[in-house]
Chain A
Amino acid sequence: MNIPVAPAALARDAVIYNHEAKSLLRFIACGSVDHGKSSLLGRLLFDAGLVLDDQIDALRKDTGQLTDPVETLDFSLLFDGLAAEREQKITIDLAYRFFATESRKFIVADAPGHEQYTRNMATGASTADLALILVNAQAGLTQQTRRHALIAATLGVRHLVVAVNKMDLVDYSQAAFAAIEADFRKFAGRLGDVSITFIPVSARKGDNVVTRSPHMGWYRGPTLLDKLETVDVTPRAANQAFRMAVQWVSRPTPDFRGYCGMIAGGEVRPGMEILVQPSGQRTRIASIVTANGELARAGVGQSVTLTLTDDVDVSRGDLIAEASAPAHVSDRLNARIFWMGQGTLAPGGRYHIKLGTASAAASIAGPMQLIDLAEDAQVKSVDRLMSNEFGTCRLELDRPLAADGYNQNRETGSFILIDAETHDTVAMGLIEVPVNASAATRNANAVTGAPTSRDLYKLFGINANHARSLAKTLSWRVMGSVVTFLVALLVTGNTAIASSIVVAEIVIKIAFYYFHERLWLLAPWGRS
């Protein structure tokens, strides 16, 4: 790609080094139909000198604009990849585009505007650091604009850039721009912790896209490209506790056992104390192995192989976490869900869940709520979610998994649901604070009202109170049997009959006491 630099002033090797050391920004471009998103992206690439001559020739063929001046071409067609999309002149599927300037590489998720393609937008936003939201200066904010902003903020996109497009059609009016900005800020309180930048642009004429507009002297902020090149791209999870989901266990020789994965949070160093979750085994990092040699430390986004000081049982799906700040381990998750399936999502539904590298079976439990993106995220109680709707529910898993809240960590706080029959990916999940497992057991009645099949399972499940209950059962039984024998002997005067009564009673009551004790554990009444 051709980058507008002055290489003559730089040594050839310095040019190459600078390119290798560039940073990376992933952003998502979204906007209502006809607000000019594809045109703006096309203009961005063209003005940055990144559209190649054979692409322009192909564009001329596609548009029939064989002799028009190059700057008047319909650049939106650079982006519509599938034949059906070019025919209908709309974007159906999420497309990824790439471009680079001398300081940064950009991965652009180009998301369709239609409501029925919300899942594509949510997918693109899930890895984005920045969302570029297009607003038509003539039409002003639409319901879709608000939807897009809400989805982006919900998925943890930190920077919003609102590009007010078609400024040429409103005579580059500062008042029109200010009105849209004020309108957007009125509802921006719902978006949480995001930075918002407003830029007046014209995709058709190129104003404030790469070059500063001569028509809008009143605007003092950055051009679109300036903003994209300078926005902070430090991953948020860099400052969180260390996390790595184990992808693959490497055993090339009998004396090497390494755990491969990509670091999802914080930083790791040899000697660091870690927990293997969900099992809770505690050990230390022995070394960080890579093909470039062992590392003294490694951080978020690096793919590494860790070795541990003790021979603990670790397999794919386990989470290696900093011992001083481990993840939550639970077989219940409260989550916000983007439902993308064809049918509905309702309590009782059963799916495969993939959380990090772990898989489990999940069933949907109530209560279920709809977060209405068309009405600025109003929450309503519902009994099901329809396709492309967003809501909250609880998931019950067939085994405990380690997870964080999505607000702490995008990687360890997210999951997908997979339909057991079609194998399609049917939902994206964002974990709220995970429900702590032992607390869930203690408070099961208080939370769900009545014991469920899950609670009955818990009665016999493995936890710390299990052995204690058994010991109490036995000691009480010994004392009780002695008393029963004496009473029976006094009444009947017959040792043989008294003994028979005791034997029968031991067998029956041991079983009953155990049930009785465990049932009491479900009742929070009378406990502090």
Chain B
Amino acid sequence: MNDVSLTAASSTRSYLDQLEAESIHIMRETVAECDKVVMLYSIGKDSSVLLHLAMKAFYPGKPPFPLLHVDTTWKFREMIEFRDRRAKELGVDLMVHINQDGVARGIGPISHGSELHTDVMKTQGLRQALDLHGFDAAIGGARRDEDKSRAKERIFSFRNSHHRWDPKRQRPEPWRLFNAHKRKGESIRVFPLSNWTELDVWLYIHRENIPVVPLYFAKPRPVVKRGETLVMVDDDRLPLEPGEVPRIKNVRFRTLGCYPLTGAIESTATSVEDIIHETLDSRFSERRDRVIDQDGSSSMERKKQEGYF
């Protein structure tokens, strides 16, 4: 890591150095131009990179904003343990929000389906938390390579007072000049990882030695096969169908969300190096393993317009 920084002054800096510097620039602009900033922390690899970049951006100080996790109550247990441990280790301020209205109604991915569960527990939960604390800017780890509609989203992306995204009314972002002026009631989603890809994220995790949730590494885990998806039996809330028996398979996750909605892949990758090689050889993009992204080609665009992150 130190070798990299010492050679970095030459004009041919590596692309990871450039992505890192750009992301740090974006975070600093956000805190300088906005009143009340929060970082959305979803515990996954992108959030781990985002948090690492925030620590670097404000060094020797701490990031001048809290982290917010919108907990759907269906996250993997290892994610929650990792979340609490990292916040403590880094000494950052972590807020957890659960949509209590959704809990009272008993909303869950199994009883109500992925779409309603995601809408109530994630989309509505996020809106509640942002409104409750009056945050005017939320930094998130979304990447443009994740989905076709994200490819057109700006780095400073505006939401109206109902948290809706209007793709037709986006501001141009020439050079590195971001316009953070808000109309009444608007808030901003800021995406410092816009120009990163899944491979970039793993290479950076490798280079910087960033801790990630152990679920990304292959190990024998109990899973059931539902259609083409391998679902991990993380706790006893997953109802088993008649005759269905969890099988122990060597699996890992490329992407992490609510456990019943996140497919595992069979893998032998037990280190970051293994994951990079697996990613280089993969013939499939990571979103394939997410149940919620498969409701048609425009599903992400529609969810975003409704206020999904």
Contacts and interface: CB of A to CB of B under 8 A. Distances in A.
Contacts of B199: 1, 19, 100
A305 interface: yes
A423 B13 contact: no
Contacts, number: 222
Interface string A59-79: 001100000000000000001
B8 interface: yes
Contact of A247 (B25, B177, B301): B25
B161 interface: no
A410 B279 CA distance: 36
A389 interface: no
A147 interface: no
Contacts of B206: 16, 20
Contacts of A100: 197, 199
B231 interface: no
B100 interface: no
A508 interface: no
A256 B60 contact: yes
B108 to A, nearest CB: 27
Nearest to B149: A81
Nearest to B170: A93
B173 A123 contact: yes
Contacts of A302: 8-9, 13, 17, 21
A489 interface: no
A181 B172 CA distance: 33
Interface string A287-312: 00111110111111111010000000
Contacts of A424: 171, 179
Nearest to A99: B197
Main secondary structure of the interface of A (DSSP, over half): mixed
Contact of B298 (A83, A119, A303): A83
Interface in A230-244: 233-235, 238
B145 to A, nearest CB: 5
A292 B56 CA distance: 8
Contacts of B176: 127, 262, 411
A512 interface: no
A492 interface: no
B282 interface: yes
Given A61-B297, A120-B172, A299-B9, A262 B281 contact: no
| 9 closest Cβ pairs, A-B complex | A252-B61, A24-B15, A423-B181, A81-B148, A238-B11, A291-B59, A126-B174, A303-B24, A291-B56
B29 interface: yes
Given A16-B206, A289-B59, A425-B171, A1 B280 contact: yes
B228 to A, nearest CB: 11
A421 B72 CA distance: 39
Contacts of A2: 280-283
A428 B15 contact: no
19 contacts: A13-B273, A16-B276, A20-B207, A22-B14, A81-B150, A81-B151, A93-B152, A96-B151, A122-B172, A123-B172, A126-B174, A248-B31, A292-B1, A295-B5, A299-B13, A357-B29, A418-B179, A422-B183, A428-B172
A141 to B, nearest CB: 26
A3 B60 CA distance: 39
Greatest chain A CB density within 10 A among B175, B181, B287 is at B175
Interface stretch (A49-57, A165-173, A320-328, A473-481): A49-57
Interface of A: 1-3, 7, 12-13, 15-16, 19-24, 52-55, 58, 61-62, 79-83, 86, 92-98, 100, 104-105, 107, 119-120, 122-123, 126-127, 233-235, 238, 247-248, 250-253, 256, 258, 260-262, 267, 289-293, 295-303, 305, 316, 340, 352, 354, 357, 410-411, 414-416, 418, 422-425, 428
Contacts of B25: 247, 262, 303
Contact of B197 (A1, A13, A92, A123): A1
B203 A95 contact: no
B127 to A, nearest CB: 22
A12 B274 CA distance: 9
B109 interface: no
Interface in B158-217: 167-168, 170-177, 179, 181-183, 194-195, 197, 199-200, 203, 206-207
Nearest to B196: A98
A12 B275 CA distance: 12
Greatest chain A CB density within 10 A among B16, B57, B152 is at B152
A293 B5 contact: yes
Contacts of B61: 250-252
Nearest to B285: A52
Given A20-B206, A414-B174, A425 B285 contact: no
B177 A23 contact: no
Contacts of A233: 12
A97 B6 contact: no
A105 B200 contact: yes
B157 to A, nearest CB: 13
Contacts of B5: 290, 292-293, 295
Contacts of B149: 81-82
Contacts of A95: 151-152
Contacts of A86: 297
